[in-house]
Chain A
Amino acid sequence: MFLYNGNNMDNTGERREEVCLWEAMRGGEREALETLFRRYYSPLYDYGINLVANANNVKDAIQELFLKLWRDRASLSTPRSIKAYLLVSIRRILMDGKKRKRKRYQRNRKYIEDAFSRVFTKEDLIVRREIEEGKRERLVQAINQLSNRQKETLFLRYYHGLTNREIAKIMNINYQSVKNNLYRALKNVRGIMESIPNSV
């Protein structure tokens, strides 16, 4: 039985609550692991399904990740961002699985780096009152025209709300490359949106 006290929901309060949860998990509290699972299952799934288009593979990878966390809990340290840590881990598990399945000559870096091949639909964007229907449609079109790496950077930034440094870690590229990816992605999105007729 447990409950965690996450006072003050500003950044530091949220961080403290997560650290508390993580420490409890490391200390062997199963309920803490369950709370982490409930909290991160959906975001992990939504990221993973963009990397491999197979629901069962993603579900198995999440199982493997949490089983490994539990097994190695005593030797884990507390990451700076728990979310980023879990996302890095799920990416690694999925990519390793993919690599194993490929024939040797197909195992090149490029293939792995460009895994994020999701085609977004209008429903993937939140309906906001101030953003009208037509604009949402153009935005999705624009995002889908980006390169896979630009798409992945945008997704990590805008879906998962991560910082440049966290994204760099997850995608295993350097800080400046993240900024460049993001800059080019945003520029392309704006450019494409403006070139599609029926403007605001």
Chain B
Amino acid sequence: MAEYEQEIEELLTDDSFIRWIEGRASEVEAAVWERWLENDPARKQLVEESKLLHRSMAFSRNRRSEVELELDRLKERMGREKKAAENGIRSRRISRDRTYPGMAAALIIMLVAVMGVLSLSYPGLYTSEPTARSVSKFITQKTQNGQQKKLTLSDGSTITLNSNSSLKYPSTRTGGDLEVWLDGEAYFDVAHKTGAKARSFTVHIPGGQVRVLGTTFNVNTYEEAAEVVLVKGKVKLEKKNRQGRDVDSHVMEPGELSRISELREGISSQRVDAERYTSWTRGKMIFDRTPLHEVAERVEHIYGVEFPLPGQELKQIRISGSLPIHNLEVFLNTIENMLNRTVVNRNGRIILGKEK
């Protein structure tokens, strides 16, 4: 018995064994371990226990929120060093510099400038007296291909609407609470209110709703299943059935992506890199080992084009990198070079040619 226990630790120090239990071993390697397993029936239990210990030792990985800010700091340093080199000076020492907070401010101003296609102010909309629900009218904001809109609420909250999306809200406010209806994709930055000013903020989506206290999050209903990505704060997802009754609910944590679908029961969640899902608000699409079919879907929604991918193999190609969001031409050129195939935009249908 004691001898047997010792073997678990021994096995787990073996790289080949680990590759095998993680399913990453080559065929030859796996065959060796399978033969080893067959030679003694007692080893089955041993492998199971090793697997359990191995899997319980899972450290969680966090995506640090300051990545983009730190990357900007690096780029600024690289720029400065290049200039210094041109002037014949080389700065070797690296220390935390004073321009850092200033840079963050400049960055924020730039983001606003990029997104500020249209800026709306709410106050006028909600000052009229409360009216009966039956007569309240709705205003709808819409965006076209490649367009974004930024809406600013009187309390400082902002909603950024991505391309080919619409957001509906009542023209008269029925109380302190806010309710909006989203079709497409939007990024919400909701100001946190407490005490007498506390109010609820609800985003209605097909198949459910998102209930909010001060927070930032992204909602995307482009596909059949609506996706909500929480950046910070807390939101509660409520799934409704066709009769409008709550059938499931889930309180999201930052860095989580949840899906609500009209066709499926319940809410599913996974951990994601929230930055990738909100990079569009900064005029960029960021991909990291993203399958080409997901990239194609993204492009279809943003530019209102069709982008069929012939063949499974093509769909599973993974790509990494970042692209500006406002230029379909640049995007198609890049894809052309990467896949080494001709890419043509034929009246809104992206056609992939043969390999060159």
Contacts and interface: CB of A to CB of B under 8 A. Distances in A.
Contacts of A71: 81
B62 interface: yes
Nearest to A181: B13
A187 B11 CA distance: 12
A63 B318 contact: no
Given A9-B289, A67-B74, A67-B94, A125 B60 contact: yes
B61 A59 contact: no
Interface in A154-200: 154-155, 158-159, 163-165, 179, 182-183, 186-187, 189-190
Given A2-B321, A7-B317, A187 B9 contact: yes
A190 B9 contact: yes
Given A7-B317, A38-B286, A182-B13, A139 B334 contact: no
A60 interface: yes
A164 B15 CA distance: 7
B106 interface: no
B67 A38 contact: yes
Interface in B54-80: 55-64, 66-67, 70-71, 73-75, 77-78
A34 B94 CA distance: 19
B12 interface: yes
Interface string A95-137: 0000000000000000000000000000111101011000110
A39 B319 contact: no
Contacts of A158: 57-59
B55 A131 contact: yes
A62 B75 CA distance: 13
B338 interface: yes
Interface string B279-323: 000000011110000000000000000000000000011111111
Given A56-B96, A190-B8, A5 B73 contact: no
Q: Interface majority SS on A: helix, strand, loop or mixed?
A: helix
B61 A159 contact: yes
A44 B103 CA distance: 23
A199 B339 CA distance: 55
Contacts of A31: 321-322
A17 interface: yes
B335 interface: yes
B174 to A, nearest CB: 41
B15 A128 contact: no
A4 B75 CA distance: 21
Interface of B: 5-6, 8-10, 12-13, 15, 24, 52-53, 55-64, 66-67, 70-71, 73-75, 77-78, 81, 94-96, 286-289, 316-324, 330, 333-335, 338-339
